[in-house]
Amino acid sequence: MTWLYWFPRNKNYKTKEYKTIINTVDYLLKTGNIERYLELAPEVNFDIKAVIEVENGMKQVSKDIKVIYNAKMKDDGTLFTPEEKRGLIDDLYKIRIGLAQQGLQIIKNVEQDKK
């Protein structure tokens, strides 16, 4: 599965510009600054917020892959076979690819709506 390494490694692909405003709005809501929140909330594109959540899900799947890769034993105390590890990791890569496709589709829809 070496082809997976050919994808761009820019983790902030097309979401970086939106993260600042989303983080600000989330902070205002958590701290109770409702007046300022209501001023900035219309600037937030909640579709992009969904993309950021997808991105966070992809990060979690990557962490899970690392855990399986480094695991020696299963929870029941038996050793992992290479085939078991490979199967689990392949399944997680499929999930990660599915998440990436969802995120890209949302971004495409947002960009089309801007036009």
pLDDT in tens, 27-62: 888 898 888 888 877 777 667 778 778 888 999 999
Distance between CA atoms of residues 44 and 23, nearest Å: 10
Residue type, 34: I
Q: Are residues 73 and 33 in the same domain?
A: no
Band (97; pLDDT cuts 50, 70, 90)? very high
Q: Are residues 68 and 34 in the same domain?
A: no
pLDDT for position 14:
56
Asked whether 92 and 65 are in contact (CB, 8 A), the reply is yes
Distance between CA atoms of residues 60 and 51, nearest Å: 14
Is 1 part of a structural domain of the chain?
Answer: no
Band (85; pLDDT cuts 50, 70, 90)? very high
Q: How far is CA 87 from CA 45, 53, 68, in A?
A: 37, 26, 10
Asked whether 110 and 102 are in contact (CB, 8 A), the reply is no
* Boundaries of domain holding 106: 46-115
Classified as helix, coil or strand, 73 is: strand
Q: Are residues 64 and 30 in the same domain?
A: no
Q: Are residues 39 and 50 in the same domain?
A: no
The pTM assigned to this predicted structure is 0.65
Q: 79 has which bridge partners? A: 73
Q: Are residues 83 and 30 in the same domain?
A: no
Q: Are residues 62 and 115 in the same domain?
A: yes
Q: Please report where in the chains the tokens 């929140």 appear, as a residue.
A: 37
